[in-house]
Structure 1
Amino acid sequence: MSSNKSDRSWGTLWNPNFGAFAALLILYVANAIFTPRFATVSNTLNMLLQVSTTMLIAVGMTFVIASRGIDLTVGSTMALVSVIVALLIKYGMTVAILFALSAALLVGLINGFLISRLKLDALITTLAALILWRGIAQVVGDGKLVPFVNPTFEALGKGYLGSIPIQVVIAAIAIAAAFFCIRSTLFGRHIVAVGGNEEAARLAGIRAERVKYIVYIISALLAGVAGLVETARLGMGDPSKVGVNAEFDAIAAVVVGGTPFSGGRANVLGTVVGALLMQVISTSFNMLLIPFTWSLVLKSVIILFAIFLQRPREV
């Protein structure tokens, strides 16, 4: 009995609308006090720059997890987009971006088909696809870096809109669109319904397969945009390194932000807070000269704690 009360008290503390934000605020204030030059405008902008691609893929991952799925292909999609846009940029920025995003769309379509139509397990399917698309990216790029020079395209990753980095603006637009979709559209309600109880959603007239198709396409396209931004920032395509562990960062942000693996709820703003929380941890460890591996340990503990609190409770 006391154990159940303890679980409920911890669950209240880590409320999806409060816990991650409270942890972020505490960490930021603590670092502002104890970490030199942490709470400066330049460092804050730098953190936003570093986390913007994670936010893009995490927004797409929020849709997928809310529908009770998972997408491990986002990092490989970034790599595929990276090498395609770098190889084709000599034919013009528009052509390169269209072909690169078409490749991302293909990834989403195949994921959606295998999972929604053929009823394959999402975890195993996207794990296999992760390896497949990373391999294809390396074959297309011949396993090498693909440098290019195109100042207009590179502005996506290096330019500013006023004093705000363009990639931060792109992430903000994606976040705002996702928030509106989940909170104010019929499709957003369908995602939550399918994730909560797919059979009940079908009985209510919701086309669950179509919903799953679309969320995997959204996830892939946002990963594609993240790949474009990262490639523009680097000034080269990199089939081996772009997007490595991106799926881990995205899933961490989503789960810590309050969207449960069991589906049925989508917290876009929580995902943003979760991504910022993970970035604050990485930045603070780096500035304090603590080995990066220790930041991974802390992140893993936070993720496990969030999952523990989201587990089904016995009645």
Structure 2
Amino acid sequence: MTAAVIEPVDGAGARDRILDLAQSYGVYAALAVLIAVATAMNGDFMSTSNWRVQLFQAAPTVLVALGMALVIGTEGVDLSVGATIALAASVIPLYIGYGPVPAIALALVLGAAAGLVGGAMVAFAGVQPIVATLSLMIGLRGLAELLNGATAKPVADASILDLGEQSVAGLPLMAWLALAATGVVAYTVRRTTFGRQLVAIGDNKRASLLAGLPVSRVLVTVYVLSGVLAALAGVLIVGHGAEADPANQGLNMELSAITAVVVGGTPLSGGRVRVLGTVAGAMFMQLVSAVLIQHNVPTSTTQIVEAVLICLAVYVSRERGTR
């Protein structure tokens, strides 16, 4: 007897294809539409000066979002990135007297250490990522304010300021650094054994353990990378603002990074990392905020719009994951 084959309902199949396309390419289409609409409403939107401002604003978020994408790819989350930015920023004015290189190196080492602690809690202690990094978020912010005296300190070193203000070939140096980080992360995810292991762990951690993959090592490495990228973003923020303010710098950055990752098509359930989508998601959210602000839309309304966009992105991700 031949088994009956049940064909999918046409409507359901079409809906599934639409959801697939929305998650895979929706952020690029949305970004293109947003730029077109913003240009039609404001002739100066495509000006060089405006894009320089947008790139200055978006570059730190891109860096943090890249690290967040790696963490979410393992079915985790890193809520400590904003506090890591504050911690990295706090040591710049304290150690800039030894030179910019030692100060920056110390900031990056502290970022790696923060990621190492969070990764160890997740990988070896079995603490849920949201709990482990939430505790770090609180502790690191307090440590940053303790080190810096809970007050903003000016930074006048030319090398640090150049990182935040200098342009190369017409683009901010910050944007070039974010672009370089994007290339490295994309290559790591797509072309290396580590990247394949990362995705496999996010897809099925238990199966990865049974297959003999170094799950703990990969998890710790992912959180360390997230911490280093957050610390680098902190250095750039100090250079751009010419001050270290651990009480305010990095606030809500974890939410911005998660938003960029989700809007970019990386599912919160792990098992996939969309690097270019994450960058596009960061730019999309930055431009949405910028367009609304340029047209004198109240901040409260801007936040509501961003919340709706996040909900839509999560819905698309959840629907695809369910199927």
TM-score range, shorter chain: over 0.9
Distance 1:61 1:150, change over 3 A: same
Structure 2 gaps of 5+ residues are 1-8
Q: Work out the CA distance in 1 between the residues paired with 2:281 and 2:29.
A: 11
Task: Answer yes or no: is 1:125 the counterpart of 2:125.
Answer: no
TM-score, structure 2 as length reference: 0.93
CA contact (8 A) 1:79 1:238 kept: yes
Alignment of 1:83-232 (within 5 A): 83-232=90-239
Letter in 1 for 2:180: I
Task: Report how far residue 9 of structure 1 moved.
Answer: 4.9
Q: Work out the CA distance in 2 between the residues paired with 1:213 and 1:268.
A: 20
* Counterpart pick for 2:65 among 51, 58, 72: 58
In structure 1, the residue matched to 2:295 is: 288
Letter in 1 for 2:16: R
The Cα offsets for residues 125-159 of structure 1, whole Å up to 9 and x where unpaired, read as 11121111111111111111111221122100011
In structure 1, the residue matched to 2:20 is: 12
Alignment of 1:245-260 (within 5 A): 245-260=252-267
Q: Work out the CA distance in 2 between the residues paired with 1:35 and 1:10.
A: 32
* Counterpart pick for 1:276 among 275, 280, 283: 283
Letter in 1 for 2:19: G
Q: Work out the CA distance in 1 between the residues paired with 2:284 and 2:313.
A: 13
Farther off after superposition, 162-171 or 72-81: 162-171
Letter in 2 for 1:302: L
Farther off after superposition, 256-265 or 154-163: 154-163
In structure 1, the residue matched to 2:316 is: 309
CA contact (8 A) 1:35 1:284 kept: no
Task: Report how far residue 314 of structure 1 moved.
Answer: 5.7
Secondary structure of the 1:311 match is helix
In structure 2, the residue matched to 1:22 is: 29
What is the aligned-residue RMSD (CA, Å)?
1.6
CA contact (8 A) 2:96 2:157 kept: yes
Q: Work out the CA distance in 1 between the residues paired with 2:79 and 2:35.
A: 30
Q: Work out the CA distance in 2 between the residues paired with 1:280 and 1:210.
A: 37
Secondary structure of the 2:23 match is coil
Letter in 1 for 2:300: T
Task: Report how far residue 297 of structure 1 moved.
Answer: 1.2
Letter in 1 for 2:241: L
Task: Report how far residue 92 of structure 1 moved.
Answer: 1.1
Task: Report how far residue 38 of structure 1 moved.
Answer: 1.1
Task: Answer yes or no: is 1:37 the counterpart of 2:44.
Answer: yes
The Cα offsets for residues 163-184 of structure 1, whole Å up to 9 and x where unpaired, read as 2211111101000100111111
The Cα offsets for residues 41-79 of structure 1, whole Å up to 9 and x where unpaired, read as 221221111100000000000100001100000010000
Letter in 2 for 1:139: L
Task: Report how far residue 117 of structure 1 moved.
Answer: 0.4
Q: Work out the CA distance in 2 between the residues paired with 1:67 and 1:125.
A: 15
CA contact (8 A) 1:255 1:271 kept: yes
Structure 1 gaps of 5+ residues are none
Identity %: 33
Farther off after superposition, 112-121 or 198-207: 198-207
Q: Work out the CA distance in 1 between the residues paired with 2:305 and 2:17.
A: 22
CA contact (8 A) 1:35 1:287 kept: no
In structure 2, the residue matched to 1:76 is: 83
